């Protein structure tokens, strides 16, 4: 018996898949029409699986946090995690964790990354992030990153560029498992479809992308310079002199606090860091009185379970440091959200270190 969907059904949300069309997975997400159409277009271009273009695809492990595997900056091997690299391959080695050489050459010798390896985030919120390792120094990765070392027939920069396009992100989005903590395994990474074009054309595409990244960096540097000047101006007007931060070493990150200082409050190390206390003291020594945020704001908003024509704003829609709205694929359904109005300030309760603060510009947005 053949089944047909009613014309009144939204075909993007409700669809049928023939048994002959199943590819080993039974979850509806994998067979959404948008993914099938994206794959159909890629096959018309002509693609090969990433695994067939690669010499090796691997990931790493994560030594026990705070354990004996780690050491001081400059005394060990850089340990790269998915949050440590940018899409254009930049890595701030001063902000990395470092592992001991014997760990790097021992239990983690299979996850040593080399120059031109592609780095793909395959676990959690950063899934779909793609970078390229540009350095010559030895480094290692954790299990949340898949490293892809390509054969000579395809340029790493081209593969990175393709996977960052909307089409490439759709390939990754289809493969990932949308569970509590989304993930992709290495076999699935090897199944990514990559368009096959001549090396000369790949080089032209890479040249244009690199030019765009250069222009982006220049604009970002100018914006950061302006932002720094605003920060300095504001602090000067408030009479706040921030202390110079200590050198970022393991010894400087270790400290003691008396029980009387934390009793009745928070017990986590972050809130008890000396730099936090120094900033609080600097604010207290400013020329203006101050108060806690909860005493000067009114919490407003209605809890809703439907979007109803509004635009949904999540963490991914707010640019770090600048607070700009970044459009993304529109959500069509939610479990719950809080409405907000023009002039309301949004501050993330999850991962606040990303510095994503947004000033609501229209009364129709939703968080």
CATH of the domain at 308: 3.90.220.20
- What are the tokens at 167? 């089409």
The domain of 361 spans 293-367
Residues 188, 298, single domain; the answer is no
Half-sphere exposure of 54 (CA within 13 A, CB side): 23
Asked if residue 342 lies in contact with residue 363, where contact means CB atoms within 8 angstroms, the answer is yes
For residue 331, what pLDDT is reported?
65
Cα–Cα dist 49/195, whole Å:
9
Strand order in 54-58's β-sheet?
54-58, 145-150, 118-121, 130-132
What Å distances lie between residue 60 and 113, 283, 324, 354, CA to CA? 10, 43, 34, 25
Residue 282 located in a structural domain = no
- Whether residue 141 contacts residue 59, with contact meaning beta carbons closer than 8 Å, is answered with yes
The domain boundary residue, chosen from 197, 222, 255: 197
- Could you tell me if 59 and 123 are in contact, meaning their C-beta atoms sit under 8 angstroms apart? no
**Residue 38 falls within a domain, yes or no?**
no
Residue 216 lies in a domain: no
| Distance from C-alpha of 47 to C-alpha of 195, rounded to nearest angstrom | 4
Give dist(CA 34, CA 174) in Å, integer.
9
Question: Residue 60 class from Cβ within 10 Å (0-12 exposed, 13-18 middle, 19+ buried)?
Answer: buried
Count Cα neighbours of 316 within 13 Å in the Cβ-side half-sphere: 11
**Cβ-contact 125, 94 below 8 angstroms:** no
In a domain, 69, yes or no: yes
Q: 103 φ, ψ to 5°?
A: -75, -45
Count of domains forming the chain: 2
Digit-by-digit pLDDT tens for the chain (367 residues) are: 566 767 766 766 777 778 777 887 888 888 898 999 999 999 998 999 999 999 999 999 988 766 788 888 778 999 999 888 887 778 888 778 899 999 999 999 999 999 999 999 999 878 899 999 999 999 999 999 999 999 988 999 999 999 999 999 999 999 998 777 889 999 999 999 999 999 999 999 999 988 988 898 898 889 888 888 988 898 999 999 888 877 777 777 777 777 777 766 777 787 778 888 888 889 999 999 989 888 888 777 788 888 777 778 887 788 887 788 877 666 666 777 888 888 888 888 777 777 888 887 654 555 5
The answer to the question of residue 117 being in a domain is: yes
Q: How many C-beta atoms lie closer than 10 Å to residue 211's C-beta?
A: 10
299 and 175 assigned to the same domain: no
Three-state DSSP state, 299: coil
Name the nearest CA neighbour of 41 among 170, 135, 143, 146.
170
What is the pLDDT at residue 161? 93
Taking Cα atoms as reference points, which of 142, 124, 150 lies closest to residue 77?
A: 142
Of the three residues 163, 197, 231, the one that is the final residue of a domain is 197
pLDDT score at 270: 77
Q: What pLDDT is recorded for position 1?
A: 53
Q: What is the pLDDT of residue 133?
A: 94
- Residue 153 token pair: 């027939």
Any domain includes 57: yes
Q: Is residue 338 part of a domain?
A: yes
Question: Could you tell me the two tokens for 347?
Answer: 């501050």
- Same domain, yes or no, for 163 and 298? no
**pLDDT given at position 21:** 79
Distances (CA, A) of 134 to 73, 211, 219: 20, 16, 22
**Among 197, 230, 245, residue at a domain's last position:** 197
What one-character-per-residue DSSP string does 104-149 give?
A: HTTTTGGGEE-TT-EEEE-BGGGTT-EEE----S-EEE-TTEEEEE
Q: Are residues 174 and 304 in the same domain?
A: no
Q: Tell me, what DSSP letter sits at residue 14? A: S
Tell me if 215 is assigned to some domain.
Answer: no
The structure tokens listed for 67 are: 């354990």
């Amino acid at each position: 018996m053949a089944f047909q969907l009613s014309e009144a059904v939204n075909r993007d949300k409700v669809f049928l898949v023939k048994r002959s069309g199943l590819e080993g997975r039974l979850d509806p997400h994998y067979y959404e029409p948008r993914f099938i159409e994206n794959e159909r277009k890629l096959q018309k271009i002509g693609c090969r699986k990433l695994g067939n273009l690669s010499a090796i695809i691997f990931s790493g492990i994560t030594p026990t946090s705070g354990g004996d595997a780690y050491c001081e900056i400059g005394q060990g091997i850089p340990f790269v995690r998915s949050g440590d690299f940018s899409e254009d391959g930049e890595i701030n080695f001063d902000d990395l964790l470092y592992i001991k050489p014997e760990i790097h050459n021992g239990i983690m010798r299979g996850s040593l990354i080399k120059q031109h390896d592609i780095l793909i985030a395959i676990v959690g919120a950063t899934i779909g992030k793609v970078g390229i390792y540009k350095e010559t120094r030895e480094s290692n990765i954790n299990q949340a990153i898949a490293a892809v070392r390509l054969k000579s027939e395809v340029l790493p920069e081209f593969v990175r560029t393709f996977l960052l396009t909307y089409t490439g992100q759709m390939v990754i989005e289809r493969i990932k498992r949308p569970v509590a903590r989304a993930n992709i395994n290495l076999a699935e990474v090897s199944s990514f479809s990559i368009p096959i074009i001549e090396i000369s054309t790949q080089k032209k595409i890479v040249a244009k992308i690199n030019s765009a990244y250069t222009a982006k960096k220049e604009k970002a540097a100018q914006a950061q310079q302006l932002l720094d000047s605003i920060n300095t101006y504001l602090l000067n007007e408030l009479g706040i002199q921030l202390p110079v931060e200590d050198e970022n070493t393991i010894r400087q990150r270790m400290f003691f606090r008396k029980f009387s200082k934390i009793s009745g409050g928070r017990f986590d190390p972050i809130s008890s860091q000396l730099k936090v206390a120094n900033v609080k003291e600097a604010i207290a020594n400013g020329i203006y009185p101050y108060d806690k945020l909860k005493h000067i704001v009114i919490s407003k908003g209605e809890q809703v379970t439907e979007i109803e024509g509004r635009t949904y704003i999540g963490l991914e829609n707010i640019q770090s440091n600048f607070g700009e709205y970044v459009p993304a694929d529109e959500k069509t359904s939610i479990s719950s959200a809080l409405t907000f109005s023009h002039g309301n300030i949004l501050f993330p309760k999850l991962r606040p270190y990303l510095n994503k603060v947004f000033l609501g510009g229209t009364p129709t947005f939703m968080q």
